[in-house]
Amino acid sequence: MNYKEIFEQISEELRDFDEIGQVATYIPALAKANPNKFGMYLVTEEGHEYDHGDIHENFSIQSISKVLSLVYAFKLVGTDLWRRVGVEPSGSPFNSLVQLEYEQGIPRNPLINAGAIVVCDILVSQLDNPYQEFIEFVRKLSGNPSIDYCEETAQSEKECGFKNNAHINLMKSYGNIENDVDEVLDLYFHLCSIEMSCKDLAQTFMFLARSGKNPLNNERILTAQETKRINAIMLLCGFYDEAGEFAFKVGLPGKSGVGGGIVAIYPDQYSIAVWSPGLNSKGNSSKGIKALELFTTITQSNVFGPTPLFDELEYD
């Protein structure tokens, strides 16, 4: 079986998938998403691409952007980053504020909201024009110069962003925020608002499967060592309170967003993105996780099992 056939099989198996969950409703931009949308896009090390469904339509990548801002800040400040944010999973979400208090304003990891806010604070400190420089970075990774923030989404996020406001103020009280809180949050809300297609998303994350090199121009984004760090963080912290479940079912480093997108990579082999706006009770795309589970089961590409013979999966 090759990737093309595998996509067909998954599509077939998911035809009657009915645990599609609920789209996020806390902001209008997400609430209006069509829950029946579904796309899947695979980019391989060899540069082959495989797709299925709604792969050109843009959606809000939301928390997925936390990986990209983390990578950018990591490039800028290196391991100094870890003095301001941890690398450990965060446990259940109920105590995010108490954990911040207990750990003196140091977020557990850069993929929870508090951690991503610290990352934004670093970008604000380090960059002359963080908005412009960050989106250029994303455009270069994706190869798509039209990728952009969605102002409407950013504005909506801001209007209901009281909990993020509580987090940043608490961190500021501990001295872990350097800049004005409103300025940092504005960047944070913009990062959440970035829109991409499945195709863009798979392409954008491919450098994490390539030991840190952008596949489009072989530019080194991160060292091989740094790339492993990011991948480890994604596997341990990328799926809210469902990391263990995802690690078992899918078994790849990845990241999800409440817009229904998920991206995952297999080192040295591929990057895969799925999109389906319905979320399960943990806030991850319900159909998206199922599709990835089928994909890694069929291809046997789960980092907790034997390495598959990827060559045989490529379309000739």
Task: Write out the binding residues for a copy of itself, residues 100-129 only, by CB under 8 A.
Answer: 101-103, 108-109
Nearest distance from C-beta of residue 54 to a copy of itself, angstroms? 30
- Which helix (H) or strand (E) segment holds residue 33: the answer is none
Our CB check for a copy of itself shows the closer of 304 and 315 to be 304
Q: Is 150 in the site for a copy of itself (CB under 8 A)?
A: no
Contacts for 143 with CB less than 8 Å, ≥ 6 apart: 203, 216
Handedness of CA 205, 206, 212, 216 (dihedral sign): negative
Is the Cβ–Cβ distance between 32 and 196 less than 8 Å? no
Identify which of residues 66 and 172 has a Cβ nearer to a copy of itself in the complex.
172
- The single residue among 39, 251, 283, 288 that binds a copy of itself, judged by CB under 8 A, is 251
Q: Which residue is listed with tokens 């990057």?
A: 271
Q: Count of CB atoms within 10 A of residue 252's CB?
A: 29
Residue 69, both tokens: 């801002």
Residue 117: CB atoms within 10 Å? 28
> Which of residues 235 and 272 has its CB atom nearest to a copy of itself in the complex?
235
Indicate if 146 belongs to the active site: no
Residue in 238, 263, 266 with CA at minimum distance from that of residue 252: 266
Among 211, 214, 256, 285, binds a copy of itself (CB under 8 A): 211
Contacting residue, 21, 107, 130, 253, with a copy of itself by CB under 8 A = 253
Q: Is 157 annotated as a binding residue?
A: yes
Copy the structure tokens of residue 134. 């960050």
Q: Does 241 bind a copy of itself (CB under 8 A)?
A: yes
- Strand pairing partners for 266? 270
Write phi, then psi, for 49 (nearest 5 degrees).
-130, 145
User: Which residue of 63, 90, 271, 284 would you call a contact of a copy of itself, by CB under 8 A?
Assistant: 90
Nearest to 83 by CA among 67, 63, 69, 103: 103
**Residue 290 appears among annotated catalytic residues:** no
Active-site hit among 85, 258, 263, 274: 258
Instruction: Return the number of the residue (20 or 114) whose C-beta is nearest a copy of itself.
Output: 114
Task: Tell me the CA end-to-end span of the chain in Å, nearest whole number.
Answer: 11
Q: Are 67 and 229 in contact (CB under 8 A)?
A: no
Q: Is 280 annotated as a binding residue?
A: no
SS3 (DSSP) at 84: coil
Q: For a copy of itself, which stretch binds (CB under 8 A), given 93-101, 116-124, 148-156, 193-201?
A: 93-101
Of 3-11, 128-136, 229-237, 286-294: span binding a copy of itself (CB under 8 A)? 229-237
Of the candidate residues 83, 183, 248, 315, the single one contacting a copy of itself (CB under 8 A): 248
Binding residues for a copy of itself, rule CB under 8 A, total 56
Residue among 249, 252, 255, 253 at smallest CA distance from 283: 255
Q: How far is the CA of 204 from the CAs of 28, 207, 238, 244, in angstroms? A: 26, 7, 16, 25
The Cα 288–Cα 48 span in angstroms is 21
Of 139 and 228, the one with the shorter C-beta distance to a copy of itself is 228
Active site residue 258: yes
Known binding site for substrate: residues? 63, 113, 157, 164, 188, 240, 258
Q: Which residues are annotated as a binding site?
A: 63, 113, 157, 164, 188, 240, 258
User: What residues are annotated to the active site?
Assistant: 63, 66, 188, 240, 258
What are the residues binding a copy of itself (CB under 8 A)? 86-92, 94-95, 97-99, 101-103, 108-109, 160, 162-163, 165-167, 169-170, 172-173, 181, 211, 224, 227-229, 231-233, 235-237, 241-245, 247-248, 251, 253, 267-268, 302-307
